[in-house]
Amino acid sequence: MKYPGAQSSAYILPTTAIIFGILIAFYLINRLDYSVQVIVLGFFITLSWCYIGYFIGHRYRLQRFALVPLGEALEFQERHGTQFVFLKKPDLGKERFDAVVADLRAKNLTAEWEKFLARCTLSRVPVYHTKQIIESLTGRVKVNHLSENEFGSLLPSRFYEMIKRGIDFIAALVFFPVFFPFMLLIAVLIRLESKGGVVFSQKRMGYRGKIFTLYKFRTMYVEKKGKGFTQGENDSRITKFGRVLRKYRFDEILQIFNVLKGDMSFIGPRPESMELSEWYEKDVPFFAYRHIVRPGISGWAQVEQGYAAEVEGMNVKLEYDFYYIKNFSFWLDVLITFKTIKTILTGFGAR
């Protein structure tokens, strides 16, 4: 099953770029002669054919799921790109389905339906529990779906954690000199608009519950006091230039230093202030479990939900964070990276 909001086309560009990147690295390591023009031309030709193949074969094809009409499956509603068909009897007939969905914990799941699911599996027709489909379509792991036995599935891969840390460190070293002139310009504009320092630092709850200092460009007036978090879109403490920085996430650029120090990653659950963390831990079940991975400059919840400062919104945000942890992988990070670029360009979820 693909990630929610990500059609197969979302993987074409990053996959092609990675393949050609490996090809270029091979030529450089072995000191082989190559033509830049040929590689660039080959890249765009490959990309074009992949997109043409996608639009011809997959763009307008619905995913069809056969539903066993019991338990949670009765609550399913169709979404864009999917079609749910409730079965009247334990038989698929001659219709084509991508998978069969059933509430495997339904109390009224009869032996007849269980035998049907077994036949589907033997016939190579995928059988999914309702919870799996809900998570795949929404990009969220429902807190009420968690049990003692399932916390093991939320343990991230130690191998990928090490790989990701290496990628973060190298990327931060590369990006720092690129963004440094831009950082200086932002610092000058902040000082010209209002009094006070240009850097805002705050204690945040981080990896494995360790407290660290997060750095951001200051976006508020120093002389105006308030709570330790943003109070809505019209917070009077935010400067005019600060609103621009927040809308396009430019205030977060200084967190490259946090990435270099190992406190943060480029991609991961957003770290909360100590005040909000203490508040959420009292009202939101399993909140502390989101600290099992390094917090990020951008994350799955930010690109899907935006900014949340209320307990109800935090519950949803936590479900997105759990989805990220459960599906912790290179490809999900790639998808979030591309969605982050889109978010920056549109200003989605600014606070």
- Establish if 131 belongs to a structural domain: yes
Residues 197 and 328 in one domain: yes
Same domain, 200 and 247: yes
pLDDT tens string 78-90? 676 788 999 999 9
113 and 169 assigned to the same domain: no
Phi, psi of 234 (to 5 degrees): -100, 30
The pair phi, psi for residue 50, each rounded to 5°, is: -65, -45
Instruction: Give the Cα separation of 80 and 60 in Å (integer).
Output: 11
Cβ pair 272, 287 in contact under 8 A: no
Contact by Cβ (8 Å): 256, 168: no
Residue 168, classed as helix, strand or coil, is: helix
Structural domain includes residue 34: yes
Range of the structural domain that residue 14 is part of: 8-57
349 has a pLDDT exceeding 60: no
Q: In this structure, what token pair is assigned to residue 97?
A: 């389905």
pLDDT, tens digit (0-9, with 9 covering 90-100), for 313-325: 778 888 899 999 9
Is a pLDDT exceeding 70 seen at residue 151? no
Written as one letter, the residue type at 330 is: F
Closest CA to 56 of 5, 9, 16: 9
End-to-end CA distance of the chain: 33
Cβ distance 239 to 221 under 8 Å?
Answer: yes
* 327 and 234 in a common domain: yes
Structure tokens of 311? Answer: 């307990």
Domain assignment of residue 149, yes or no: no
The answer on 338 and 323 residing in a single domain is yes
Instruction: Please tell me the total count of domains within the chain.
Output: 3
Shared domain check, 268 and 171: yes
The answer to whether the CB of 195 falls within 8 A of the CB of 222 is yes
pTM of the model: 0.82
Amino acid identity of residue 267, one-letter, is I
334 and 260 in a single domain? The answer is: yes
- Domain final residue, candidates 83, 107, 138: 138
Supply the pLDDT for residue 87.
94
Residue 17 in 3-state DSSP?
Answer: helix
Do 47 and 80 belong to one domain? no
Do 32 and 74 belong together in one domain? no
